Amino acid sequence: MQLLTPYRLGPYELKHRCVMAPMTRSRADGDRAVVPMTAIYYAQRADPVRGAALLISEATQVSEQGIGYPATPGIHTPRHVAAWRTVTDAVHAKGGLIYAQLWHCGRVSHSSWQGGAAPVSSSAVAMKGQAWSANGLVDAETPRALELSEIPGVVAQYRHGARCAKEAGFDGVELHAANGYLVDQFLRDSVNRRTDAYGGSPANRIRFLRDIVEALIAVWGTSRVGVRLSPTNAFNDMRDSDPASVFVPAAEMLNDYPLSFLHVLEGRPGSQLAPPAGVTPIAALMRKAYRGAFIINGGYDRESGEQAIAGGAADLVAYGVPFLANPDLTERFRTEAALNAPDPATFYGGTEKGYTDYPFLATR
């Protein structure tokens, strides 16, 4: 299988092409530091042959302003750094690689996380539906549009998070520019109504993404920075009138930097994050536009992942729930063994149940 063949990713030699996708698990403590069982969870999946060739961490806030959910971890205080160091040490002890996914929720946040202030976004456009507050689900609030003068400060939050991730021992970082969070709120025209240098034309809407990529590169260099985009999914009430007009140029812009990878989440038909009816998938166009390593994600299994690699649709495939439920997923692919059934009731929050207790193959 080509899915199981080696791949060189920047400075790293991967044993195969199965990546563990970032997955929120909501098990951080009251200070938003990861806990001891988190190190066990990632280490279980870190075997570079039987597990993930590369682990991408759960979304991790770069600042207090970036918070949007209960019990999600941060990467912006000394305590966060120390806690994440236990994770990276555990992963490296298994011979694995792990990138930190850097995150700012933007309008998906709530004033209860912001000291009573409104969450920020590209524009003052509320998300339809509910948001997580400190007291549970409530109707989403109208965010405050970031002032032009504030944007460099937000970029600096990402730079600080990148520095903290480096101090914590990560092997690289992935910019979370997908799924309706802050960077995506600048990219897509259903939210971005700005009339300044960060709004209007696709080139302007891409500017915030470029600014942050350059900030991350200033910390990590190009070959250890990745970007995740989701051009067509509707999660967090997102849409664009012409996704190809902004996301293909975004992929082309990223060619200016020899990044670690571009990671595109575009769900396969029938998967949870597939493009809505009437929206044309564009991952193939982005693949054609981007010259570097290309990761595809969104409902893939062993067979469809192999087809994506063999057919040239991607260089690597990111698996989310399959890795959540199968610490030795790649070994199961290799031996065509049955997969553990995931338990959705334990995906978010809780204890070791549904987190570190999924069984390995009997031969493990």
CA distance 56 to 172: 9
The dihedral region occupied by 339, where left means phi > 0, alpha psi between -120 and 50, and beta the remainder, is: beta
Structure tokens at 222: 């190009």
Structure tokens at 249: 């140029």
Structure tokens at 180: 């309706």
CB-based contact 55:295 (threshold 8 Å): no
Q: Which are the contacts of 15, defined by CB distance < 8 A and separation ≥ 6?
A: 6, 48, 49, 53
Closest CA to 51 of 18, 91, 92: 18
Query: How long a stretch of residues is the chain?
Result: 364
CA distance 203 to 294: 22
- CA 303 centroid distance within chain: 23
CA distance 9 to 54: 10
CA-to-CA dists, residue 215 to 41, 61, 221, 275, angstroms: 30, 16, 10, 31
Residue 181 bears catalytic tag: yes
CB-based contact 74:80 (threshold 8 Å): yes
Closest CA to 109 of 121, 123, 101: 121
Taking only Cα atoms into account, the Rg of the chain, rounded to an integer number of angstroms, comes to: 19
Instruction: Classify residue 317 by its DSSP letter.
Output: E
CA-to-CA dists, residue 161 to 20, 27, 188, 207, angstroms: 21, 20, 24, 20
Which of these is catalytic: 41, 69, 158, 181?
181
CB-based contact 267:275 (threshold 8 Å): yes
Active centre residues (catalytic): 181
